[in-house]
Amino acid sequence: MRRIILFTFILLSWTPLAHAVADAATSGAQAPMDPQSATSNDPALSQEAIDRELDKFRRTEVSLHRALRIAEKIHPGSKTADISFEGGLDAPVYKVRTLQSGRIWELDIDGTTARVRNSVLFSTVQGLSESDRDSLTALTTVQLKMSDAIRIAERSAAGKAISGGLMNKDGKLAYVIVVVCGNDLKQVTLEPSLPRSR
């Protein structure tokens, strides 16, 4: 189970809003690629690599919350759509994608120094698929922010969040948060309510 959740987490961090993979993982169905074979064929996904990544995360000085706050301050008024920890580099970083005025920014926040290593325009909302556009449009209207969803997930799973992403699950907007609990990973899905139209 641990590998399936981490595999989902890794895939979520590679795409802006990876619907199919996240849907398969949250519904308990098999992801498009078999995680067991992925870990044996890809050394980056071996159990040893997973353990190293989690160990680096546990020793990282900057929290996911702090990285999120830093990213949102860089582009005032932005909202976080996706955040993930990457410990495979020389220095650990948080990859953060924020939405501001129809633009999606991708930032690298250093996990040791809290400095912004990179901030680039990842895409515009118009450049995304229709379902991704709908999800990001909904992100601007929901009251629950990613930071709140992360706090709720950490309390619920009694651990420390390593990633969080926005996805469209069965036509509903959902935050998917992956939490490190001891030696395990837990996935928490939260569906924020949308404002009612009059």
Q: Are 65 and 153 in contact (CB under 8 A)?
A: no
- Name which CATH class applies to 2-190: alpha beta
Q: What phi, psi does 168 have (nearest 5°)?
A: -105, 115
Q: How big is the CA angle at 18 (ends 132 and 192), to the nearest 5 degrees? A: 65
Burial class of residue 19, CB neighbours in 10 A (0-12, 13-18, 19+)? middle
Give the model's pLDDT for residue 42: 58
List the chain domain ranges: 2-190
Give the model's pLDDT for residue 184: 85
Q: Transcribe the chain into DSSP letters.
A: -HHHHHHHHHHHHHSSS-HHHHHHHHTTPPPSS-HHHHHHH-GGGSHHHHHHHHHHHHH-SS-HHHHHHHHHHHSTT-EEEEEEEE-SSSS-EEEEEEEETTEEEEEEEETTT--EEEEEEEEEGGGS-HHHHHHHHHHTT-S--HHHHHHHHHHHHTSEEEEEEEEEETTEEEEEEEEEETTEEEEEEE-PPPPPP-
Give the model's pLDDT for residue 103: 92
What confidence tens digit (pLDDT) does each residue in 93-112 have?
999 999 999 999 999 999 99
Q: Per residue of the chain (198 residues), what is the pLDDT tens digit?
A: 344 344 344 434 433 333 323 333 333 332 322 333 333 455 546 778 888 888 899 999 999 999 999 999 999 999 999 999 998 767 899 999 999 999 999 999 999 999 999 899 988 888 888 878 888 888 888 888 999 999 999 999 999 999 999 887 677 788 999 999 988 889 999 988 766 554
